[in-house]
Amino acid sequence: MDLMYTSTRSADIKVTASQAILKGLSPDGGLFVPEQFPTLEVSLPELAGMSYQETAYAVMKQFLTDYTEEELKECIRRAYDDKFDTEEIAPLTEAGGVHYLELFHGATIAFKDMALSILPYLMTTAAKKNHETREIVILTATSGDTGKAALAGFADVPGTRIIVFYPKNGVSPVQEKQMVTQKGANTCVIGIHGNFDDAQTGVKRLFSDKALEAELSSEGFCFSSANSINIGRLVPQIVYYVYAYGRLLSQGTLSVGDPMNVVVPTGNFGNILAAFYAKNMGLPIGKLICASNENKVLYDFFQTGVYDRNRDFILTSSPSMDILISSNLERLIYHACGKDAARNAALMRELTQKGRYEVTGDMAAAMCDFAGGYATEEQTAAEIRRVYEQCGYVLDTHTAVASSVYHTGFAEKSNGVPAVIASTASPYKFARSVMSAIDSRYQSMDDFALIDELHKIAGTKIPRAIEEIRTAPVLHDTVIEKEEMEAAVKRFLLR
Ligand SMILES: *Cc1c(COP(=O)(O)O)cnc(C)c1O
C-alpha cells in the first residue's frame, strides 16, 4: 500500500508522493504531509556502514513509495555524484567539541543543494508517472540560496522552465552574482523591490490564482515549486540527519540508541523540520534546537507560544534566515494540533489576517522537543572569530548563528549528548561578513580579494562555484515592483 499525502488544511485531499511533488503546494493553499510517519527499516548498527547514497535510498523509499526501486536509485545516482566536491557528500567535522555537518559541498555551496540536486529528477520522473505532458514551470522565491541551487538543478532540464524571484537588496553580492549569471534558455531570474516575505507571498498568490492557472494551462504550462513547501525538498533533507547518526556511530562517538541533539540555523523551517521527520522515523534525536538571527520570530514562538510577524524585518549578515513567515512551521503546527486540518487552517487564516496566532498548551506540549535560541549580529561575528582563533575552522554567518546559540545557551546543559550543528553554507559564499568578523582590516578589500584572503587563512580550496562567477557575464538584469510578478511570469512564458 502506498503512503499517501494529505493537506495541512483539508482532510479530504489525498495524493501519492509523486503527485505531491508535481503539484508542490496543495490546491487549498496548504502543504502536503504524509498521512503517517514511516519508520526506518534499516537497523541503527547497519547505518554505521552505509554510504550517503545507500542512506538516501533507505530513507527516501519509505516516503516516496510510488517510485520504483529503479526510479529512485537512478534519481539518487544522478543527484549525488561528482557535482559534490567530496565523496562523503555531507562530511562531519569536529571543532571545539561539536560536530559540524557540512551541507555545502554541492554545486552552489549551500545546503539547498542537498535537496535541489535531486528534486529535478524526482519531478521529471513524477511527470512521466502521472502522464503530465504540460511543461512544468518552477516558480521560486529565494532569500538567496534556494534560487541558485534550483537554477543549477533545473537549467536545461527538458520539459521544465524555472523562474526565480529574489529581494534585490536582500542577498549577498556573491549570491546575487551566482543567480544573475545563470545560463540556460529555460531560466529566468528577477529582482524585486521588497524583501523575501514579499517574494514568497507573491509566489504563493500566483500558485493559488485559478484564472492564471487556466490561462497558462491552455498554453501548455503547469506550476510547481522548488521551495521547501514542496515535500520533494523535505524528504531528501531527512537523509543527512540519518547519515550523520551513522557517522557518529562508526566513529564511536555514539553507541547504538544514544541520542544526538541537532542545532539548525533556521529561516523557513524546512531544514529543522526534516530533523523532526527523522526523529519520527525512529532516529534517536534528543533536542531540536532552532537557531534564529535577529529576525527571531521563531525564538519568541517557542518561548511564548505566540507566533507574531508584526515587527520590523531586519537585514542581517545571514540573509538566508531573514524571514518572518516560516512556511514549514505549518507542518509542525498541523502535527501539534493532532493532525486537525480545520484547526490548523483556522490558525493560518489568523496569520494571514492578523499576522499572529497563539497555540494552546496541548500544542506546545506536542512541540516540547524543540527549543529556540537566537544570536545578534555582534554574537554571530564574535562566534566566527572565536571558532577561527581557537580551532582554525572558518564558519559562515548562518552556521555561526547556530554555533553561537548552542554555545551560549545549550552546551552546558547537554549532559554529554553530542551536538550536530547543521553547517548550511560555505564561508566563501559570505566572504565579506566572515572576513570582517575575523579582522576589521579586511573591510576595505573587494569581494574577490577577500575570497583569496579567506583561502589563505582557512587553507581550504576555493570552490568551483566561486571561480565560475569571477568572470561570468550578467545574463539577467530585470528588476520589478512586487505587484508586477504575474506580468513578469507571463512575459517570460508567453513571449
Ligand atoms: C535556506 C538557508 C537556511 C535556512 O533554512 P530553512 O530550511 O529555510 O530553515 C539557513 N542557512 C542557509 C545558508 C540557507 O541557505
Q: How does DSSP assign 47-115, residue by residue? A: HTT--HHHHHHHHHHHH-TTS-HHHHHHHHHHHSSTTSSSTTSS-EEEETTEEEEE---STTSBTHHHH
Neighbours of 478 (CB within 10 A): 14
Q: Which residues pair with 292 in a beta bridge?
A: 374
Query: Which residue has the CA at smallest separation from atom 2 of ligand 1?
Result: 320
**Ligand 1 nearest-atom number relative to CA 144:** 15
65 Cβ below 6 A of ligand 1: no
171 Cβ below 6 A of ligand 1: no
102 Cβ below 6 A of ligand 1: no
Tens digit of each residue's pLDDT (9 = 90 or more) over 346-392:
999 999 999 999 999 999 999 999 999 999 999 999 999 999 999 99
Cell numbers placing 145: 540560496
Tens digit of each residue's pLDDT (9 = 90 or more) over 439-470:
999 989 998 999 999 999 999 999 999 999 98
Tens digit of each residue's pLDDT (9 = 90 or more) over 116-160:
999 999 999 999 999 999 999 999 999 889 999 999 999 999 999
**Ligand 1 nearest-atom number relative to CA 274:** 7
292 Cβ below 6 A of ligand 1: no
- Tell me the best of 197, 266, 370 to mutate to test the pocket of ligand 1, counting ligand atoms within 8 Å of each CB and taking the most: 266
266 Cβ below 6 A of ligand 1: yes
Mean pLDDT of the chain: 96
Cell numbers placing 183: 545560463
- How far is 215 from 482, CA to CA, in rounded Å? 21
